[in-house]
Amino acid sequence: MSHTTIKIEIALENYIDNPYWPETELIVRIQKDSGYSRQKSDEKRKAAIDAQLKKIGMTREQFEAAERKAAERWYRNADGAIVIPRHKLAGMLVQTIGNAPKALRGVFTKDNFRSFCQIGDLTTDRRDKDGVFSRFVKNENSNMRRLQVDEFIGRYLAVGSDQEIFASGTMSLAEAAKPQTLKALVEVGIATIGLGSCRKMGFGLGQLVSFVEQRETKPTGKLGRDAA
């Protein structure tokens, strides 16, 4: 079966990730089950957490490690560079396809896109935040507001770096789909929908810098374990 490997590079003005880690869900559940929020002092809150940790067989060291992971604001590669995870780019393209006319999206639909196109993470040229974006947001089930603070890279208004963010990675496209169709979707998506969090506030927009195709043919044969 023939596939086309595509190397892409994009440039963004700014970007916010704000991932929700499995460790975040774990911390929230432990705090809820322990009655953490009902305690009146730091000593009692710590005792409540310790009692819940003992109940579930988790050490304080493991809990604190989970807290540190939950506080991470970026996906990173093994070298520590900030990456834009593949699901962010896939989500942007699926949304673009859902809004696109047939003439633009070609064979792609929201349901089949991930079958035709495999996407890798995009590695950026950044390792640290360039600023923070603060605003009050409405809680989901009430009219109460809370302060939300997110790290960003790039530039927002007059804050941050004057340099664009460059991010690069690879995509693999099945032969049933046309590379030029995918290129057009990336161009439209990155310019009008964007990547990451706070897109409605103007984050995550940019442009496609390069889109280089390299066709490859994979040998056909038995599938599954017998192919090894």
Co-location of 102 and 140 in the same domain: yes
167 neighbors 14 (Cβ within 8 angstroms)? no
Co-location of 188 and 88 in the same domain: yes
- pLDDT tens digits, 4-41: 999 999 999 999 998 999 999 999 999 999 999 899 99
149 neighbors 132 (Cβ within 8 angstroms)? yes
Asked if pLDDT for residue 225 goes beyond 50, the answer is no
Co-location of 162 and 66 in the same domain: no
What are 214's strand-pairing partners? 5
Per-residue model confidence (pLDDT) at position 142: 79
Asked if pLDDT for residue 56 goes beyond 70, the answer is yes
Computed over every residue of the chain, the mean pLDDT equals: 92
User: Domain range for residue 143?
Assistant: 2-19+76-227
* CATH number of residue 174's parent domain: 3.30.70
Co-location of 14 and 29 in the same domain: no
- pLDDT tens digits, 117-127: 999 999 999 99
Co-location of 93 and 182 in the same domain: yes
Co-location of 62 and 34 in the same domain: yes
Distance, in Å, from the CA atom of 190 to the CA atom of 122, rounded to the nearest integer, reads 13
Per-residue model confidence (pLDDT) at position 227: 43
Which band of pLDDT confidence, cut at 50, 70 and 90, is reported for residue 224? very low
Asked if pLDDT for residue 216 goes beyond 80, the answer is no
Co-location of 42 and 115 in the same domain: no
Asked if pLDDT for residue 226 goes beyond 80, the answer is no
Co-location of 116 and 204 in the same domain: yes
Per-residue model confidence (pLDDT) at position 228: 38
Which band of pLDDT confidence, cut at 50, 70 and 90, is reported for residue 144? confident
In 3D, which of 3, 5, 1, 7 has the Cα closest to residue 208?
Answer: 7
Co-location of 125 and 196 in the same domain: yes
Which band of pLDDT confidence, cut at 50, 70 and 90, is reported for residue 3? confident
CA atoms within 13 A on the CB side of 48: 17
**pTM for the model:** 0.85
- pLDDT tens digits, 39-54: 999 999 999 999 999 9
Domains in the chain, number: 2
Of 150-154, 186-190, 212-216, minimum mean pLDDT range: 212-216
